[in-house]
Amino acid sequence: MEFYNTNISKESFALANEVFSSTYLSAGKMAARFETELNRKLGLENPVSVNSGTSALHLALSVAKIGRDDEVILSPQTFVATGMVILMQGAKPVFADIQYETGNIDPSSIKDKITSKTKAILPVHWGGYPCDMDEINEIASKNGALVIEDAAHALGAKYKNKPIGSISQFTAFSFQAIKHLTTGDGGALCCKNTEDYELAKKCRWFGIDRENSSPSILGERIYDINEIGYKYHLNDLASAIGLGNLQTIDNIVNKHITIANKYKTELKDVPGLKLLNYSADRESSYWLFTVLVEKREEFIRALKDRGVPTSVVHQRIDRNSIFGITPGLYNQEKFDSHQISIPIHNGLTEADVEQVIKAVKEGW
């Protein structure tokens, strides 16, 4: 049994072949079709396709003009990409505490960390479970800050019936190899405002307006760059993989939800194991199924012996030397030493899921 899997649909092969035959590999018609479908199928608002989730996050900070002397409040329970993009802009990452019961940033800790320099709040939907977005957006707007959601794990998740990707000023998704939807590597930045959307499209390709700049007689596009831009566009080959995979995304997210519901029913009374909290007003996309276990190493070894892989996936990032030390993150401390995820993905058979449940119930 694998801990992760990679989903490539049949349609992806056909669409990738179309791109090969066309010999047009750069960002073009496939990228545009992929963006249209991300919006139509999943309700993502103004998605700008890019070449990674990290690029999507960085582009958001760049478009929002976050820079030197600005502070960005984030969750430590994430992958380093979330903190790195803040440093890339020369801004200061400020770590807030999380909720032990969800792994998500705690709005009351955000309030404690707000200063006059706070420019943005960057919540991470751990494992695909949406953060307290109403509270977070309210704190942001009261304090003149904006919200950038790190939704790398949360494609297909919903908060109060709204798709993640349609709520805050910016939302960044990852389409890296083992996510619900993959383009190999890739991502998308969703922008609520048209102005941000237009700027994001420009800045993902060197600050050049690709859609409205045609080549001169000399053979190069006519342009005048007035913003720092990047080479972040998603090429047509990667977009073809993504577009094909959108055909099966509903089934994949539903499979994660079905497995999670089974785990929730079967594992709720296992001694020494605590499920995370799930509120009825939101629906996780369950990229991960994280549980809290006090004797974690014994748990890992016992499950390994029974053929079931487990992983912490990411440990708190604030302990990396580049970020310095943030004292007082007590829930993060506890979560970091107890959290562990069990397999949940589209490649699991019913027998695999039964094997995981049995392995956990046998104890450690």
Ligand X SMILES: Cc1ncc(COP(=O)(O)O)c(C=O)c1O
- Among 6-14, 149-157, 237-245, 348-356, which window interacts with ligand X (CB under 6 A)? 149-157
The kind and range of the H/E element at 53 are: helix 53-63
DSSP three-state, residue 50: strand
Restricted to residues 214-233, the positions that interact with ligand X (CB under 6 A) are none
The two structure tokens encoding residue 340: 């562990």
* DSSP-assigned letters across all residues of 172-230: EEE--TTSSS-SSS-EEEEESSHHHHHHHHHHTBTT--STT--B-TTSSB-----S---
In the complex with ligand X, the residue whose CB is nearer, 51 or 310, is 51
CA pair distance 324, 88, nearest whole angstrom: 16
Instruction: State the minimum distance, in angstroms, from the CB of residue 334 to ligand X.
Output: 20
Report the alpha-carbon angle 146-151-156, nearest 5. 125
In the complex with ligand X, the residue whose CB is nearer, 191 or 359, is 191
State the burial class of residue 196 (Cβ atoms within 10 Å of its Cβ: 0-12, 13-18, 19+). buried
Phi and psi angles of residue 252, each rounded to the nearest 5 degrees, phi first = -65, -50
Looking up tokens 């890739």 gives 186
- Among 77-85, 135-143, 249-257, 269-277, which window interacts with ligand X (CB under 6 A)? 77-85
- Among 73-81, 210-218, 244-252, 256-264, which window interacts with ligand X (CB under 6 A)? 73-81
Which residue's C-beta sits nearest to ligand X?
53
DSSP three-state, residue 149: strand
Q: Under the criterion CB under 6 A, does residue 79 sit at the interface with ligand X?
A: yes
Give me the count of residues in the chain: 364
- Among 37-45, 78-86, 115-123, 197-205, which window interacts with ligand X (CB under 6 A)? 78-86
- Among 32-40, 150-158, 159-167, 236-244, which window interacts with ligand X (CB under 6 A)? 150-158
Residue 199 near residue 222, CB atoms below 8 Å: no
DSSP three-state, residue 21: helix
The CA distances from residue 284 to 126, 174, 186, in Å, are 9, 16, 21
Q: From the centroid of its chain, how far is CA 103? A: 14
Contact residue for ligand X among 47, 53, 163, 165 (CB under 6 A): 53
Convert residues 152-191 into a mask of x (bound to ligand X by CB under 6 A) and - (unbound): xx--------------------x-x----------x----
Convert residues 101-130 into a mask of x (bound to ligand X by CB under 6 A) and - (unbound): -----------------------x------
Contact residue for ligand X among 7, 9, 49, 54 (CB under 6 A): 54
Question: Between β-strands 289-293 and 339-342, what pairing exists: parallel, antiparallel or unpaired?
Answer: antiparallel
Instruction: State the minimum distance, in angstroms, from the CB of residue 341 to ligand X.
Output: 12
Contact residue for ligand X among 78, 183, 239, 355 (CB under 6 A): 78
Q: Under the criterion CB under 6 A, does residue 82 sit at the interface with ligand X?
A: yes
- Among 74-82, 235-243, 329-337, 338-346, which window interacts with ligand X (CB under 6 A)? 74-82
The two structure tokens encoding residue 255: 């499979």
In the complex with ligand X, the residue whose CB is nearer, 78 or 118, is 78
Instruction: State the minimum distance, in angstroms, from the CB of residue 182 to ligand X.
Output: 10
**Residues of the shown chain interacting with ligand X in the complex, contacts defined by CB under 6 A:** 52-54, 78-79, 81-82, 124, 150, 152-153, 174, 176, 187
